[in-house]
């Protein structure tokens, strides 16, 4: 009997130590570029599950042998930077926007081309999305995976949103086009005048997208709005079917797994390179920034920390919990963000649980609170 107790305790100690080592390895991801060592990026997807297991071990040891609880507790304390980026510890009472005249309301939303390829007639999805967006009474809107066209019997979303949402100023990347009258890319809409705008290629290749920015003037202050859509895994319907089969244990999926891992590897490497470009661009801004985008990466990743830098994550300031923004694959994926300079005070943050896109729109209410960057240009 004593042997069985010792064996059981030893087994769980070894299991706990292994879990701690894997978890701490995942916490190194923000410091190691996938371009240098890509396998570590896969651990970031498991980060919340590893954390949950650590907490279970911690609670279990507190009941049966409190000394071993130090294993999990030490790992949690050492990894607090990653944990505090993943979970927002706020009370609902403090998450309130202030009156429109005194604040700026910003939305980031991957609109999935307004349902262009998901159904035979995307008109109703588009109408519902327009109604959702209009209801928010936005000052700034940043959309990714945006589609617009000038051809007959198609949707000129670029013009229609300006008119219907009272957002007269805009800048569109138009990264891809077909026949000169169908366009895809990212777009910034603004209620405030745009005095300068441009796009910056984040990577090479026919499918590469651009970071876009627009400098807007509000009450004499210039603010730089930055919007981007970083590299996705580019999974197709065959890949998603294979993932479902593997998850449901219907198939070992060795061939499919190899293809999926290869696509993920390429995406991790390319996103890290894009994050380096984006991070450097943000740090060079002469104005306070509002950064929006679909990063296609979690808060435990190199991409997240490289882009965020010293900026405030609006979700961490006013959100609650994990803040999932992608409604596919896993229930823990927060991949859509609003970052702002310390120049702003974050009054509120919320996401809208709408299934019109595979991403949830995120909205933050901001006000002016601090000093301009040290390298700011006065205009």
Architecture of domain 92-368: 4-Layer Sandwich (3.60)
pLDDT in tens, 347-365: 999 999 999 999 999 999 9
Residue 293: left (phi > 0), alpha (psi -120 to 50), or beta?
Answer: left
CA gap 282, 298 in Å, rounded: 19
User: If you average pLDDT over residues 201-211, what whole number do you get?
Assistant: 85
Q: pTM, whole model, 2 decimals?
A: 0.91
pLDDT in tens, 44-103: 999 999 999 999 999 999 998 889 999 999 999 999 999 999 999 998 877 888 887 889
At 218 the three-state DSSP class reads strand
User: Is 190 exposed, middle or buried (CB count within 10 Å of its CB: 0-12, 13-18, 19+)?
Assistant: buried
pLDDT in tens, 150-179: 988 889 999 999 999 999 999 999 999 888
Residues 6+ apart with CB under 8 A from 323: 88, 315, 334, 351
pLDDT in tens, 101-112: 889 999 999 999
Residues 6+ apart with CB under 8 A from 26: 40, 43, 44, 46, 47, 50, 82, 300
pLDDT in tens, 61-73: 999 888 999 999 9
| pLDDT higher than 90, residue 245 | no
Indicate the pLDDT class of residue 253, thresholds 50, 70 and 90.
low
| pLDDT higher than 50, residue 133 | yes
CA gap 117, 238 in Å, rounded: 16
Count of Cβ atoms closer than 10 Å to residue 309 Cβ: 13
Residues 6+ apart with CB under 8 A from 176: 183, 184, 185, 207
Domain spans, the chain: 2-86, 92-368
Strand (E) or helix (H) holding 199:
strand 194-201
Report yes or no: 127 and 151 within 8 Å, Cβ to Cβ: no
User: If you average pLDDT over residues 179-185, what whole number do you get?
Assistant: 90
Q: How high is the pLDDT of residue 339?
A: 98
Residues 6+ apart with CB under 8 A from 318: 88, 90, 94, 95, 346, 347, 348, 349, 364
CA gap 82, 87 in Å, rounded: 9
pLDDT in tens, 28-44: 999 999 999 999 999 99
Say how many CA atoms lie within 13 Å of 93 toward its Cβ: 0
Q: How high is the pLDDT of residue 234?
A: 76
Please work out, in degrees rounded to the nearest 5, the angle formed at the alpha carbon of residue 229 by the alpha carbons of 335 and 184.
Answer: 135
Rg (CA), the chain: 22
CA gap 23, 51 in Å, rounded: 7
CA gap 238, 76 in Å, rounded: 38
CA gap 251, 232 in Å, rounded: 25
Backbone angles phi, psi at 256, to 5 degrees: -65, -40
Name the more confident of 204 and 135. Answer: 135
């Amino acid at each position: 009997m004593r042997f069985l107790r010792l064996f059981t305790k030893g087994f769980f100690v070894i299991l706990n130590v292994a879990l701690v080592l894997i978890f701490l390895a995942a916490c190194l991801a923000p410091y190691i570029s996938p371009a240098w060592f890509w396998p570590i990026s896969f651990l970031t997807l498991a980060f919340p599950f590893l954390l949950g297991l650590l907490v279970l071990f911690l609670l279990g040891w507190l009941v049966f042998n409190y000394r071993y609880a130090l294993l999990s507790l030490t790992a949690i304390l050492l990894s607090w930077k990653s944990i505090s980026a993943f979970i927002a510890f706020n009370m609902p009472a403090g998450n309130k926007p202030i009156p429109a005249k005194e604040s700026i309301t910003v939305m980031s939303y991957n609109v999935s081309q307004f349902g262009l390829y998901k159904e035979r007639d995307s008109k109703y999805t588009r109408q519902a999305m327009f109604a959702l967006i209009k209801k928010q009474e936005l000052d700034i809107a940043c959309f990714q995976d945006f589609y617009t066209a000038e051809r007959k019997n198609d949707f000129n979303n670029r013009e229609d949103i300006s008119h219907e949402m009272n957002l007269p100023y805009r800048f569109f990347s138009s990264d891809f086009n077909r026949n000169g009258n169908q366009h895809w890319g990212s777009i910034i809409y603004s209620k405030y005048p745009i005095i300068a705008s441009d796009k910056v290629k984040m990577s090479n290749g026919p499918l590469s997208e651009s970071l876009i920015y627009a400098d807007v003037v509000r009450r004499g202050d210039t603010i730089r709005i930055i919007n981007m859509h970083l590299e996705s895994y580019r999974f197709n319907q065959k890949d998603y079917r294979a993932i479902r089969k593997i998850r449901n244990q219907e198939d070992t999926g060795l061939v499919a797994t190899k293809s999926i891992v290869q696509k993920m590897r390429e995406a991790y490497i390319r996103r890290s390179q894009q994050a380096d470009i984006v991070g450097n661009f943000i740090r060079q801004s002469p104005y306070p920034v509002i950064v929006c985008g679909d990063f296609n990466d979690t808060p435990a990743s190199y991409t997240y920390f490289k882009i965020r830098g010293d900026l405030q994550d609006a979700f961490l300031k006013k959100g609650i919990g994990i803040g999932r923004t992608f409604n596919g694959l896993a229930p823990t994926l927060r991949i859509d963000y609003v970052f702002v300079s310390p120049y702003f005070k974050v009054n509120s943050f919320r996401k809208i649980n709408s299934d019109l896109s595979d991403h949830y729109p995120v909205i933050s209410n901001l006000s002016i609170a601090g000093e301009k960057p040290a390298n700011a240009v006065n205009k």
